[in-house]
Structure formats: structure tokens, C-alpha cells
């Protein structure tokens, strides 16, 4: 009898431990204080094979899992930090709390009347929880760009000083960013890649023909002292007055012609490419980018199909699975075929990797977002709104009492 009791106790402990299996691959899960997910709720996900079926609402019994390491990002990055499992408590919503959440939401809209939120009857409350799966791929991209600058003399770090390193042979560990940063870019000089080249713009002479006074002449036949007619005296050198007198033109000093404004009639100007040096210093530059490719997928019931996916991405949910590896595999829940299939779909939709890049690490998370759909009715009218996430954010699309005529700053009248 004692052995049977001991075996039942061990089985219960192992099943209780299953609540954190698969969701704590990147952190240690402390024991939760308060109510936890029951074994029956976990097993209920595998009893039904209908793809439209989802487990019962977690508003009544589910406590948030331990938070992941903020430095690693993870699902819900940017949400409030510092919560532990026992801080959420039971998420039971009664009609009083539901109505108060709607009243608070409407109160922040200057053109929404509060009468429907206060007076209309709550006719239906439906639980339609949503699963959110993410696959983040942290990659490193490298490409070579050629950089040139005027050569002003000095030593050159070329092939004579050593063997030029390959693009992926550069050691950039000191510049490596934190994993899963959105974007970071770095330019690094490739050692022993400098070379001196003749400027192609001036053929090494440091000067080019003037584009104003020698534009149509061939090399070797450039003419200097090319003058243009003075636009003030029209080539006369004198300015005529109404009294019949003439004065010397101050613009051309009586010559009637002006030197070229570009080269001062010298026929040549300094080459801007080489800055008059005649030579260019070229080097190879490694352009390195670290970025995170994110693929997100939402699995929602028909009751929550009208809510945009972005709302669920921003909502705070309960993390069920968190793993990090070079290449993540689909999650495995021993008692939930639906979650296993959903995880496989997220992995299958992996974002393609660019050719000139390599994968550093991947992170796969699965979260469940509590969603409650509430329907309110009055006479022959009705509308629905949603309470989403652990933070109980309200989302409503078609509120029945909106009075915005473009006279306030809410800009509701601009929405079609």
C-alpha cells in the first residue's frame, strides 16, 4: 500500500514538473506560488483531434510562467519586466470587472459615449485563447566594398607587408553584439589590401580640361587664354549713357572680354577625384551586418479571427516554450498534438537566409495569449470587444456610440 502511494506521489510530481518542460530551455524555472495548470488541463489538449478545438480558457486557472532573461530578448520583448509567477495570481473575470475594463477604455476616448459601456447588457462571454509562435534567426552578413581616397604619400599596407586576409577570416569578436539585436553594422579595414593606382579621371596628371572653355577639344590641343564676351558691355568695353557719353566698363576693364570663370583661362583645372595628386589609394573594406530575422505566426480560433495579428504580437502572454540553439527543432509536448503541429508550422516558415551570411543562433518560443470575447446587446443592437493578454488590454473595432465631427484632436473622423 505504501509503495502504491509512493508511486502515485512520484507520478504526480513528474506530471507537475511537466508544466515547465519545454518552456525553460534558456532559464531556470522557479516553483510557482499559487494555482498552477492542472494535469487534466494539459491532457485535455490531446484528447480532441479537431484542429478548431483549443484548450479551455486560462483566465480561470493559469499562472504566468517565469520570465526569460531580459538580456536575451524573447517573446514579448518591450513589455513590462520584473514580474514573477505569483504576481499574476488567478485571472478570473466577472461581469463587474469586464464592464469596468470597458468603461476605463472608453473613458480615454474623448468622442466615445459611455452609455453603452455602462447600460448595455452583457449577453455572452466567450474564451478564445490564441497561440503565438516566434522563430528568431540571428545572422551575420559580410560583403567586400572597394574604397578609394587621394594618395598623399606615405607607407602602403599592401601585399608586400603580408598576406591579405579573407572576408570571413577577420576576427571581429571584440565587436560582436548581443544576441538577437535588431540591427548592427560595422565597417572594418581588411589588412594588407591597400594598393596605389593611377587616377583614371586625369590619367595621373592631376589636372583635367576645363569643361567650359575646352569642352570640345581633344587631348594635346587644349587652348589657354580662352576668353568670353563681357555680358555687361556686350564686348564694346564701354558703357553708353543717355547723355551720349561713354565710360569704361568696370566688369572687363575696357577689354570687352572676360576670362573663363572655371579655370581663369588656364585651360586646366584640378582633378577632384585625386585632389590634384594624380594617384589614388585603394583598399578593401569589410561591411559586416548583424541582424535578427523574425518569423511570427498566430493560431487563433474563429472567435478571435477579427483581431489583427499585430495586437496579439504586442500583447503580454504566458510563455509555454523557449529554446535557443544553432538550429531550432519543433517543440515537443507529450500531451498536446496541436502545439506540436503549431510549432512545426512556425519552424517550417523559417525566413530564408541570404547567400552571403551565416547563422549564429536561433530562438524559438511559443506563448499563449488569454483572449476573452464579450458581446453586449441592447434591444436590436449588439457589439463585441476583446480582453487580450495578461495585462487585460481592451480591443474594440466598432463601438456603437462615436460622436466625432472633426472638432477634436482624436482624428477618428479621418478613419474610413
CB atoms within 10 A of CB 100: 12
Grid cell in block for residue 333: 509536448
Cβ neighbours of residue 3 under 8 Å, at least 6 residues apart? none
* Residues present in the chain in total: 416
Is residue 256 in some structural domain? Answer: yes
Within a domain: residue 388? Answer: yes
- Domain check: are 240 and 297 in the same one? no
Q: Give per-residue pLDDT as tens, 100-134.
A: 998 888 887 777 878 888 889 999 998 888 999 99
Residue 162: closest CA among 190, 197, 143: 190
- Per-residue pLDDT for 219 more than 80? no
Averaged over 189-215, what is the pLDDT? 84
Residues 301 and 329 in one domain: yes
In this prediction, residue 268 carries a pLDDT of: 80
Structure confidence at residue 247 (pLDDT): 86
Does residue 332 lie in a domain region?
A: yes
Alpha carbons within 13 A on the beta-carbon side of 268: 13
Q: Which residue has the higher pLDDT, 165 or 93?
A: 165
- Percent of the chain's residues with pLDDT above 70: 71
Angstrom distance (rounded) from CA 329 to CA 362: 10
- Residue 196 · residue 280 · CB < 8 Å: yes
Domains held by the chain: number? 3
pTM (whole model) above 0.85? no
pLDDT of residue 28: 32
Q: What is the pLDDT of residue 78?
A: 33
Mean pLDDT, the chain, as a whole number? 75
pLDDT for res 223: 65
- Per-residue model confidence (pLDDT) at position 214: 66
* Co-location of 307 and 356 in the same domain: yes
In three-state secondary structure terms, 30 is coil
Q: What range does the domain containing 248 cover?
A: 207-214+223-270
Q: Is the domain of 358 the same as that of 388?
A: no
Does 6 reside within a domain?
Answer: no
Tell the residue number behind the cell numbers 576645363, with chain if given.
210
* Neighbour count for residue 393 (Cβ, 10 Å): 15
User: What is the spatial distance between Cα 390 and Cα 107, in angstroms, rounded to a whole number?
Assistant: 21
pLDDT exceeds cutoff 60 at 261: yes
CATH of the domain at 237: 2.10.230
List of E strands, 13-150: 121-127, 130-150
Closest alpha carbon to 57 in 127, 115, 149: 127
The whole-angstrom separation of Cα 123 and Cα 382 is 9
Q: Residues 37-48: what's their mean pLDDT? A: 41
C-alpha cell at 267: 585651360
User: Which triple of cell numbers denotes residue 210?
Assistant: 576645363
User: Over the stretch 364-381, which tens digit does the pLDDT of each residue have?
Assistant: 999 999 999 999 998 888
Residue 332 shares a structural domain with residue 376: no
- Give the mean model confidence (pLDDT) for residues 256-263: 78
Q: Bridge partners of 197? A: 280
Residue 23 lies in a domain: no
Q: Report d(CA 194, CA 285) in Å as an integer.
A: 10
The verdict on 297 and 367 lying in the same domain is yes
Amino acid at each position: 500500500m505504501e509503495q502504491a502511494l509512493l508511486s502515485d506521489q512520484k507520478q504526480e510530481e513528474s506530471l507537475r514538473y511537466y508544466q515547465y518542460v519545454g518552456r525553460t530551455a534558456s532559464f531556470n524555472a522557479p516553483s510557482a506560488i499559487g494555482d498552477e495548470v492542472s494535469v487534466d488541463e494539459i491532457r485535455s489538449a490531446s484528447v480532441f483531434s479537431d484542429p478548431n478545438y483549443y484548450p479551455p480558457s486560462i483566465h480561470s486557472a493559469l499562472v504566468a510562467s517565469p520570465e526569460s532573461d531580459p538580456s536575451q530578448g524573447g517573446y514579448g520583448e518591450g513589455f513590462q519586466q520584473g514580474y514573477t509567477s505569483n504576481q499574476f495570481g488567478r485571472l478570473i473575470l466577472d461581469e463587474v470587472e469586464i464592464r469596468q475594463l470597458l468603461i476605463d477604455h472608453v473613458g480615454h476616448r474623448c468622442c466615445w459615449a459611455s452609455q453603452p459601456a455602462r447600460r448595455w447588457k452583457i449577453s455572452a462571454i466567450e474564451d478564445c485563447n490564441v497561440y503565438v509562435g516566434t522563430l528568431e534567426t540571428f545572422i551575420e552578413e559580410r560583403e567586400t566594398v572597394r574604397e578609394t581616397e587621394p594618395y598623399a604619400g606615405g607607407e602602403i599596407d599592401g601585399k608586400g607587408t603580408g598576406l591579405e586576409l579573407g572576408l570571413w577570416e577577420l576576427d571581429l569578436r571584440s565587436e560582436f553584439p548581443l544576441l538577437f539585436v535588431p540591427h548592427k553594422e560595422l565597417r572594418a579595414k581588411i589588412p594588407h589590401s591597400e594598393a596605389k593606382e593611377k587616377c583614371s579621371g586625369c590619367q595621373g596628371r592631376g589636372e583635367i580640361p576645363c569643361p567650359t572653355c575646352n569642352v570640345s577639344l581633344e587631348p594635346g590641343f587644349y587652348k589657354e587664354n580662352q576668353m568670353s564676351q563681357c555680358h555687361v558691355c556686350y564686348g564694346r568695353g564701354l558703357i553708353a549713357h543717355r547723355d551720349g557719353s561713354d565710360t569704361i566698363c568696370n566688369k572687363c576693364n575696357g577689354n570687352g572680354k572676360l576670362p573663363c570663370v572655371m579655370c581663369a583661362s588656364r585651360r586646366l583645372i584640378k582633378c577632384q577625384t585625386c585632389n590634384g595628386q594624380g594617384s589614388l589609394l585603394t583598399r578593401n573594406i569589410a561591411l559586416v551586418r548583424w541582424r535578427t530575422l523574425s518569423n511570427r505566426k498566430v493560431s487563433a480560433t474563429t472567435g478571435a479571427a477579427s483581431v489583427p495579428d499585430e495586437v496579439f504580437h504586442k500583447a503580454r502572454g504566458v510563455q509555454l516554450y523557449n529554446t535557443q540553439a544553432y538550429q531550432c527543432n519543433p517543440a515537443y509536448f507529450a500531451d498536446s498534438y496541436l502545439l506540436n503541429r503549431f510549432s512545426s508550422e512556425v519552424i517550417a516558415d523559417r525566413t530564408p537566409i541570404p547567400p552571403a551570411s551565416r547563422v549564429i543562433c536561433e530562438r524559438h518560443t511559443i506563448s499563449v495569449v488569454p483572449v476573452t470575447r464579450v458581446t453586449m446587446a441592447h434591444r436590436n443592437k449588439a457589439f463585441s470587444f476583446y480582453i487580450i493578454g495578461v495585462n487585460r488590454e481592451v480591443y474594440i473595432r466598432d463601438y456603437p456610440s462615436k460622436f466625432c465631427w472633426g472638432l477634436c484632436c482624436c482624428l477618428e473622423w479621418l478613419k474610413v
